[in-house]
A and B are shown apart, each in its own frame.
Chain A
Amino acid sequence: MKSKQFNQRMWLYTLMIFITIITVGPFLITLFMSLKAANEGIYSSILPASPTLENFVTAFDKANFGMYFLNTLVVTVIAIPLNLLFCSLAAYPLARMDFRGRSVVLAVIISTMMVPFQLYMAPLFQLAGSLGLQNTHIGLVVMQVSTAFGIFLMRQAFLRIPKELEESAYLDGANKFKVWYLVALPLVKPTLVTLAIFTFMGTWGDYLWPLLNSTESSMYTLSIGLAQLSQNFDGSNLKLISAASILTTIPTLLIFIWLQKYFISGATDGAVKG
Chain B
Amino acid sequence: MSREPVVLPNAKVKVGTQKKSRLSMRHVAPWFFLIPSLLILGTFLIIPILEAFQWSLLDYKIIAGTGEFVGLSNFKEIFTDANFWLALLNTFIFLIIVLPLNVFLPMILAVLVNQKIRGVSTFRILYYLPVVTPMVVAALMWKMLYSQSGIISGILVKLGLFDSPTNLLIQSSTALFAVSMITVWKGLGYYMIIYLAGLQSIPKDVYESASIDGASVFQQFRNITIPMLAPSVTLVSVMTIIAGMKVFEEIALTTGGGPSGATTTLVMYIYKKFMNLDVSIASAAGIVLLVLAIGASLLQMKLTSSREDDLRA
Contacts and interface: CB of A to CB of B under 8 A. Distances in A.
B49 A112 contact: yes
B41 interface: yes
B238 to A, nearest CB: 7
Contact of A116 (B115, B189, B289): B289
B134 A249 contact: yes
Contacts of B30: 93, 97, 99, 102
Interface in B20-60: 26-27, 29-34, 36-38, 40-41, 43-49, 51-52, 55
Contacts of B127: 19-20, 23
B37 A90 contact: yes
B134 A204 contact: yes
A159 interface: no
B156 interface: no
A170 B15 contact: yes
Contacts of A9: 117
Contacts of A201: 132
Given A207-B135, A242-B144, A176 B286 contact: no
A44 to B, nearest CB: 10
Interface in A29-65: 29-30, 33, 42-43, 46
Contact of B289 (A27, A33, A119, A252): A119
B6 A171 contact: yes
Interface in B256-295: 267, 270-271, 274, 279, 282-283, 286-287, 289-290, 293-294
Contacts of B245: 116
B197 A268 contact: yes
Contacts, number: 248
B141 A271 contact: no
Contact of A86 (B40, B46, B274, B294): B40
A43 B149 contact: yes
Contact of B294 (A33, A114, A163, A164): A114
Contacts of B29: 93, 97, 176-177
Given A87-B37, A122-B283, A123-B55, A30 B246 contact: no
Interface in A165-213: 167, 170-171, 176-177, 180, 201, 204-205, 207-208
A26 B267 CA distance: 26
Given A105-B34, A230-B140, A43 B128 contact: no
Contact of B45 (A22, A120, A177, A241): A120
B62 to A, nearest CB: 6
Nearest to A204: B134
Range of interface residues on chain B? 35 or more
A19 B130 CA distance: 12
B8 interface: yes
B235 interface: yes
Interface string A239-255: 00110010011001101
Nearest to B266: A118
B40 A146 contact: yes
Contacts of A69: none
Kindly name the residue among A23, A127, A263 whose own CB sees the greatest number of chain B CB atoms within 10 A.
A23
A77 interface: no
The 6 closest A-B pairs by CB, nearest first: A205-B134, A119-B286, A93-B30, A90-B37, A123-B51, A120-B48
Given A93-B31, A123-B51, A268-B194, 9 more contacts: A12-B115, A23-B188, A89-B36, A90-B33, A120-B45, A127-B44, A142-B40, A227-B253, A230-B253
